[in-house]
Structure 1
Amino acid sequence: METSELRPLIRHITTACFIVIAYLSGMRVGEVLNLRRGCVTRDPKLDLIFLSGHQLKTTPQRAERSPATIPWVINAQGAQAIAILEDLAPSATLFPFGHFGTANWLRSPRTRTKNSLADDVHAFITWFNTTIADTVDHPTIGEDEHGPITGVRLRRTLAWHIVRRPGGTIAGANQYGHLFTRMTHGYAGQADAGFLDEITFEQFLLRTEQLHDDHQRLTRREHVSGPAADTYRHRVREGQRFNGVTLTSAAQANTALSNPDLQIHHGALLTCVWRPETAACQAPTNDENGPVWARCRLNCSNIAYTERDITELRNHVTKLRTDLDLQVLPLPLHRRLHERLTEHDRAIHAHESTRPLDRNDTMPTTDRLAQLKAERQRIRDASQRLLTGTSACSNGKFTISTLATEAEVSRQRLYEHHPDLVADFKASAGLGPIPPNIDALQQQLADAREQIRELKAREATNLDQIKTLCAVITELTHQDHAGNLIALPTAGPRPLKY
């Protein structure tokens, strides 16, 4: 191979190794460029690969690293990339400064700069698209709508995938060869390495985006059910004050994330309005700051069901029914699936039975009347089961709460829409008649609801004005302190989209 061909090839291989190391480790660009020979060590007992180097943005006492105090955990692909660089690099540094193959590159003790690396990445993309892609039958690297692909953006991309992809922390363990606690909480347990800042900002961005979407859906009258439904609505409304917030540090993002109004976590089949005091997934010895989905219990008082959750739940119920039809299922598994199916059906029925009936409802009148008729029949059947001592899903006590549970209807809906059936049950159970002023109370309730609608309309107008003012304040703040502030959600390099 001619020298004129060898030099650009060394450049492209070095750049490819940088991309592998930076993306699969989460290290800063400067930290990767300062790597030196012998930076990789292996622990056969732990089956882990460690990487030592010059850690940036840390205390002077910890700036110099040795294999005894390893800050990073990498996977086999990252270690292989470093081994290739150790074969290519002519000096102690793995990314020497200067043009590849020149005397400066051979002898310089300096490392490459971010600007020279950006040129290397651009040249690598061009070379790959024109020379390699067709040869290996691989798609070309396209233009990014958010700007040039640079080394700085790789770190943020890693944070984006861990936070936003389903099972992101597990994907981190599989794809990047490290555990979530070792990687995202500061490289082998050292929390000042800084990657947690990227995770924190990305979590804050995701949480605020979800809150905004939740608020828009509530504005369009999305129905929410479950024991935490009222708390969900309250937090979504209160969470709108984060619109236009400008953060200057990860500490502020951490403080914001600990705010109860941001503690809404959307799962696959339900929404957790997390409150540690009442979380069924919280073990006494744990200090989790969010839900532990693996220990989620359907009887938890932190659960809320949105329309999106119910849609997914219906699909899941359909799959469970299909599984139950299989003849090869062991009996214990069949029982467990049947119990879970019953719990899901109860949640769906409760969601539909608590759906408000109002003038803005778009459901056809015939369907609504049929649903109301079926609901009243369920209440009558539940009342009969309680009176005869054959309750199916309650403790069998002669109370209105028990009747609501047995009929799978909320207690509030029972009083508001079926007062005659409540009166019949009380009379039959010997609980006494309903107070004579029930009509007056219902009228007061209707008047209060009308006032609430008017107040909500005023609140929406005020929120629009506040959002406009927040946008103006944020813009003025950016103009005055553009060099010192990190404004979300556009802060930092954008992640690469695939």
Structure 2
Amino acid sequence: MSRLHSVTLSHHYVAAVTGCSRTQVQTIVARHGLYGLAAQRPGPSPMQVPVTGRIEGRPWREFMDYEETPILVRHLATAAAIVILYSTGMRSQEARSLRSGCCPDPQPNPDGSKLRHLIRSHHYKNVRDSDGHHVSAGEKRAVPWVAITPVVNAIRVLERIVPKGELLFSSTHHDIVSQRRHHGALKRGTLDRRVENLVSWINQEATAQGLPGQRVPEDPHGNLGLSRLRRTLAWHIARQPGGLVALAIQYGHMRTALDARTSSGYGSRERRGFHGELDVETALAAATTAARLRDATAAGEKISGPAARRAIVGAASISSFEGDLTTPKAAAKFLARDGLVLFDNPDSFLICAFKWDTALCDPDPGATAPNQFACGNAVRTDSHAQAAREHADRLDAKAALVPQPLGDRFRRTAGRFRALADAHDSAAQSAEEAIA
């Protein structure tokens, strides 16, 4: 084995393999001078456990090495932390305070349907006592986190590393390499370093496995700090139809989502902050839609719909906003361009060039985005028409496998989507024709 850049003999491993005590191993090693022999003829310490993991269909290891195991356990725990933080939206401090048993398996409903896993945790930001002093111990989160299957699996892995009722990221049980008896949870800086170490290990492993395309590229914005995971998840949720409500529920901001629009710090549980951040995400999504439309029409795709001209103008003006939508103020200014802001909804196979006074989705007074995407300011491209036809084909295939009444419904819906695509084809124009 190799330890601290020197080669020595692993007493624990030899004792486990031979069934001897560690004292007996030390006695025999000293008596026969095996330390020097181990240095001259170093070798691995294969464990008698099956290798079940596969990469490209082949085992990722010939065997699990006893000396490598502590490093792999550390990387496994780090990967579990990333899954929990990225897939729930928790803050780092909240995730590090989770304990074994925080996510019990839900009992099935009487009708047999399954409930989602919920994570009970403590939050710390803006937790104050009656005198206004910050409570460092935090308080139990009123709304539990909804956990998808990968998060549940990550928690189960951590629960096998730490004792029952212990912190999932206990310093004592996660300091496997040095085995220092620290107390409490791993510090944020420690987890940040472990994330960078995991990235380095992944890149080394990808090279060793002959898969350079699986390497983690260098991030132009610096290290992958844990705080970035919460914002990244918010970015994805906010760009979905109904994302505001979903994001508010998951992050515990329902009061904010239902109250008037104001702006301040991100992630507040009070009535400030959240809408401004959502403006940024909404503006970025709209800017991306405009850029894609501009590129599609430049590549020859045709466009149809009553708002086609406005959509082309809005897409052409996006260059002046690139890189300038990172603040709520800039995002609000971008979204205030009534009639020129584009919202894509691939599920409805259209782009909405949102204009408040012509929208059929009944937006609230002063709205800068549609409150649903079945909008009268519709724009379609050739890609939308093609996607609609492909969806119609899937519905027809499904109709053949279900009872006739449901099948007839699928076929009628498929017919409407094909009619939608045909209408686009008959009215489609190039970008130049649309603005002429």
**Structure in which a larger fraction of residues adopt helix:** 1
1:108 aligned to which of 183, 187, 196? 183
Is 1:304 the counterpart of 2:379 in the alignment? yes
Task: Specify the alignment match of 2:128 in structure 1.
Answer: 60
Secondary structure of the corresponding residue to residue 264 of structure 1: strand
Task: Specify the alignment match of 1:272 in structure 2.
Answer: 352
2:84 aligned to which of 18, 21, 31? 21
Task: Specify the alignment match of 2:250 in structure 1.
Answer: 183
Identity among equivalent pairs (%):
23
**Residues 399-418 of structure 1: matches in 2 within 5 Å?**
none
Secondary structure of the corresponding residue to residue 118 of structure 2: strand
Deviation at 1:120, TM superposition (A): 1.9
Task: Specify the alignment match of 1:433 in structure 2.
Answer: none
**Residues 244-323 of structure 1: matches in 2 within 5 Å?**
245=324, 247-248=326-327, 250=328, 253=331, 256-257=334-335, 259-260=337-338, 263-268=341-346, 269-282=349-362, 289-290=369-370, 292-293=372-373, 296=374, 301-305=376-380, 309-313=381-385, 316-317=388-389
1:232-257 C-alpha deviation (Å, 9 max, x unpaired): 34544565553453644x46545644
Is 1:192 the counterpart of 2:268 in the alignment? yes
Task: Specify the alignment match of 1:154 in structure 2.
Answer: 229
Letter in 2 for 1:206: A
1:226-284 C-alpha deviation (Å, 9 max, x unpaired): 22234334544565553453644x46545644653563113343321123554344599
Q: Provide the rounded CA distance (Å) in 2 between the counterparts of 1:84 and 1:323.
A: 40
Secondary structure of the corresponding residue to residue 288 of structure 2: helix
Is 1:346 the counterpart of 2:346 in the alignment? no
Which deviates the most, 46-55 or 184-193? Answer: 184-193
Secondary structure of the corresponding residue to residue 60 of structure 1: coil
Q: Provide the rounded CA distance (Å) in 2 between the counterparts of 1:357 and 1:161.
A: 32
Task: Specify the alignment match of 1:385 in structure 2.
Answer: none
Distance 1:50 1:349, change over 3 A: same
Q: Are the aligned partners of 2:170 and 2:184 in contact in 1 as well (CA < 8 Å)?
A: yes
Q: Provide the rounded CA distance (Å) in 2 between the counterparts of 1:97 and 1:68.
A: 23
Letter in 1 for 2:181: L
2:306 aligned to which of 227, 233, 237? 227
Q: Provide the rounded CA distance (Å) in 2 between the counterparts of 1:357 and 1:52.
A: 54
1:85 aligned to which of 155, 158, 161? 158
1:142 aligned to which of 208, 215, 219? 215
Q: Provide the rounded CA distance (Å) in 1 between the counterparts of 2:232 and 2:317.
A: 30
Distance 1:6 1:210, change over 3 A: closer
Secondary structure of the corresponding residue to residue 17 of structure 1: helix
Is 1:124 the counterpart of 2:198 in the alignment? yes
**Residues 40-51 of structure 1: matches in 2 within 5 Å?**
40=103, 44=107, 47-51=116-120
Letter in 1 for 2:427: A
Secondary structure of the corresponding residue to residue 227 of structure 1: coil
Letter in 1 for 2:290: L
Structure with bigger RCO (C-alpha 8 Å, 6+ apart): 1
Secondary structure of the corresponding residue to residue 260 of structure 1: coil
1:81-129 C-alpha deviation (Å, 9 max, x unpaired): 3354355347954434588148984242463232x22332343345566
Distance 1:316 1:343, change over 3 A: closer
Q: Provide the rounded CA distance (Å) in 2 between the counterparts of 1:76 and 1:264.
A: 34
Please, which runs of 5 or more residues in structure 2 have no aligned partner? Answer: 1-11, 14-65, 110-114, 258-266
Secondary structure of the corresponding residue to residue 106 of structure 1: coil
Q: Provide the rounded CA distance (Å) in 2 between the counterparts of 1:326 and 1:208.
A: 36
Secondary structure of the corresponding residue to residue 273 of structure 1: strand
Is 1:31 the counterpart of 2:94 in the alignment? yes
**Residues 379-390 of structure 1: matches in 2 within 5 Å?**
none
Distance 1:189 1:278, change over 3 A: same
Is 1:95 the counterpart of 2:169 in the alignment? yes
Letter in 2 for 1:192: S
Letter in 2 for 1:270: L
Q: Are the aligned partners of 2:339 and 2:356 in contact in 1 as well (CA < 8 Å)?
A: no
Q: Provide the rounded CA distance (Å) in 2 between the counterparts of 1:240 and 1:354.
A: 17
Secondary structure of the corresponding residue to residue 84 of structure 2: helix
**Residues 68-83 of structure 1: matches in 2 within 5 Å?**
69-70=142-143, 72-83=145-156
Q: Are the aligned partners of 2:127 and 2:138 in contact in 1 as well (CA < 8 Å)?
A: no
Deviation at 1:25, TM superposition (A): 1.4
Letter in 2 for 1:310: D
Distance 1:314 1:127, change over 3 A: closer
TM normalised by structure 2 equals 0.56
Query: CA RMSD, aligned part only?
Result: 5.3
Letter in 2 for 1:123: N
Q: Are the aligned partners of 1:96 and 1:105 in contact in 2 as well (CA < 8 Å)?
A: no
Letter in 1 for 2:311: Y
Letter in 2 for 1:117: L
Is 1:210 the counterpart of 2:289 in the alignment? yes
Q: Provide the rounded CA distance (Å) in 2 between the counterparts of 1:39 and 1:224.
A: 52
Letter in 2 for 1:15: T
Distance 1:82 1:183, change over 3 A: same
Letter in 2 for 1:231: R
Task: Specify the alignment match of 2:8 in structure 1.
Answer: none
Q: Are the aligned partners of 2:94 and 2:121 in contact in 1 as well (CA < 8 Å)?
A: no
Structure showing greater Rg = 1
Deviation at 1:49, TM superposition (A): 0.8
1:61-81 C-alpha deviation (Å, 9 max, x unpaired): 696654461353323443443
Q: Provide the rounded CA distance (Å) in 1 between the counterparts of 2:212 and 2:393.
A: 41
Letter in 2 for 1:31: E
Letter in 2 for 1:226: G
